[in-house]
Each structure stands twice: as structure tokens, then as C-alpha cells.
A = this chain, B = another copy of it.
Amino acid sequence: MGITKTEIFTDQQNQVATFAKAFGHPARVAILQHLFKIKACICGDLVDEIGLAQPTISQHLKELKNLGLIKGSIEGTSICYCIHTENWAAMKAVVSEFLNQDLENKSNCC
């Protein structure tokens, strides 16, 4: 049905999935990488930097902002986006815990 049954999963599982979904598109990966690289936060040269139309970039930015991973502040007519470092760290903690799981014992079949 295209709808995810979030009710049957734990909060932690849903959180990992939600954050991971944010990185599940190369445009958002590219946006975040650019914001990390450019020390000063960047506004809409993202549209030039990445090869997508302005409304598309704006939409991706909105998703990242809704998740709290970036924040934007008005600079005249343009808007300055940057990484929300505290929230990024929090997200990283959740996702890293998932990624860094270890096999307790060696598996006995595969």
C-alpha cells in the first residue's frame, strides 16, 4: 500500500529509518556534504552546485530542516543554511549505534 506500518516497530527502529531516509537520496547527501565543506553556510548556490531545479532543492532543504539536521537564517533576500550541529550529533549517535552492532557469536550456518 505504500504506507509503512510504523506502529509495529520500536521508536528506535523508526528513528533510524527516518534519519536514514534523509540520506536515502543523493541530492540530500550532496547538500549536507556541501554544507559541511563550505565553512560559511550557503544559501541557494546549492541550486548551481547540484544540478537540480530550484523548487526541487528547496523541497530537499525543507525535508532536512523538518528533521532538524539543518537550520536556515534570513540574510537579506537570500537564506543561509547550515548544519544543525547538536542535532547532527544526536542523529549520529542513533544511527551509529545501529551501524556498530556486533555479532555476539560467529554464525553457525551461512
Contact = CB atoms under 8 A, between A and B. Distances in A.
Interface of A: 4-6, 8-10, 13-14, 16-17, 20-30, 32-33, 36-37, 39-41, 50-52, 71-73, 75, 80-85, 92, 95-96, 98-110
Say whether chain A's binding surface is mostly helix, strand, loop, or mixed. mixed
Given A100-B92, A101-B33, A110 B23 contact: no
Given A9-B26, A32-B98, 15 more contacts: A4-B27, A5-B27, A6-B26, A9-B27, A13-B29, A13-B33, A17-B26, A20-B24, A21-B24, A24-B24, A39-B104, A41-B109, A72-B110, A80-B109, A92-B99
Given A41-B107, A82-B110, A107-B41, A98 B29 contact: yes
A103 B17 contact: no
